[in-house]
Amino acid sequence: MSHHEVHRSHRIGWLRAAVLGANDGIVSTASLIIGFAAASADQAHILLAGIAGLVAGAMSMAAGEYVSVSSQADTEKADLALEQTSLDNDFEFETRELAKIYQDRGLEPALAVQVAEQLMAHDALGAHARDEIGISDTVSAQPVQAAFSSAGTFTAGAALPLVVAWVTPGHFLMTAVAVSSLVFLAALGGLAARTGGASVSTGAVRVTFWGAFAMALTAAVGSLFGVAA
């Protein structure tokens, strides 16, 4: 009987950016809407603030992810260039270094040398990138992918509380946005956890708790400044 394992580590890069974008979209936009509603702003101004928050947030997420992941990619490229120089200057030393890594992981010395030599003959830089530096194709930095993923999912997340605020009468608006956003966050946390192979309930509770905290805090601030005004 065949046995096939489904691994999910190749999803780490885009999943992190997507979840972060959607979560920020829901939390920041819902909190902004709730804060304005608590300050007794009218529905038109609440929607305007929410739309402005969506556009600014999406652009901020894209720029932030691109810069952050680009920095990671630059570091990876520098490490690979340094490793390639070492391979060019002292191939034998690099072979022994790789063999020592395998020996430390539990291989017999002779077998570790044999494995290192065969892997070095096949792809010396790839072997060192993977086993010495920790860089692999599944986790390498992808700046453009991260930027588009974050911006797109932020927009999708931010659109949810905006739609609720648009279709809900003013006196029910704050409650409707808060409740629906918490439901959205719970669903997002559970979906992200399931996609990554983690506990669905833990993922849902974790995201919902921090979303509720953010909304409560902005509601308090909006109410305070609304009274002060």
pLDDT along the chain (229 residues), means of 10: 46 63 91 91 91 93 87 85 89 89 89 89 86 70 80 92 91 92 90 77 88 91 71
**∠ CA 96-101-104, rounded to 5°:** 120
Do residues 62 and 18 make contact, with C-beta atoms less than 8 angstroms apart?
A: no
CA dihedral 194, 200, 206, 210 (to 10 degrees): 70
Q: What is the pLDDT of residue 228?
A: 46
Q: Does residue 121 fall inside a structural domain?
A: no
Domain count, the chain: 1
Q: What is the pLDDT of residue 16?
A: 65
Do residues 30 and 183 make contact, with C-beta atoms less than 8 angstroms apart?
A: no
Q: Does residue 38 fall inside a structural domain?
A: yes
pTM score > 0.85 for this model? Answer: no
- How far, rounded to the nearest angstrom, does the alpha carbon of residue 146 sit from its chain's CA centroid? 8
What domain range is 191 assigned to? 9-82+143-228
Q: Does residue 136 fall inside a structural domain?
A: no
Q: What is the pLDDT of residue 199?
A: 83
Q: Does residue 62 fall inside a structural domain?
A: yes
Q: Does residue 176 fall inside a structural domain?
A: yes
Q: Does residue 217 fall inside a structural domain?
A: yes
Do residues 165 and 84 make contact, with C-beta atoms less than 8 angstroms apart?
A: no
- Give CA–CA dist 34/219, Å, rounded: 6
Q: Does residue 207 fall inside a structural domain?
A: yes
Q: Does residue 109 fall inside a structural domain?
A: no
Q: What is the pLDDT of residue 7?
A: 43
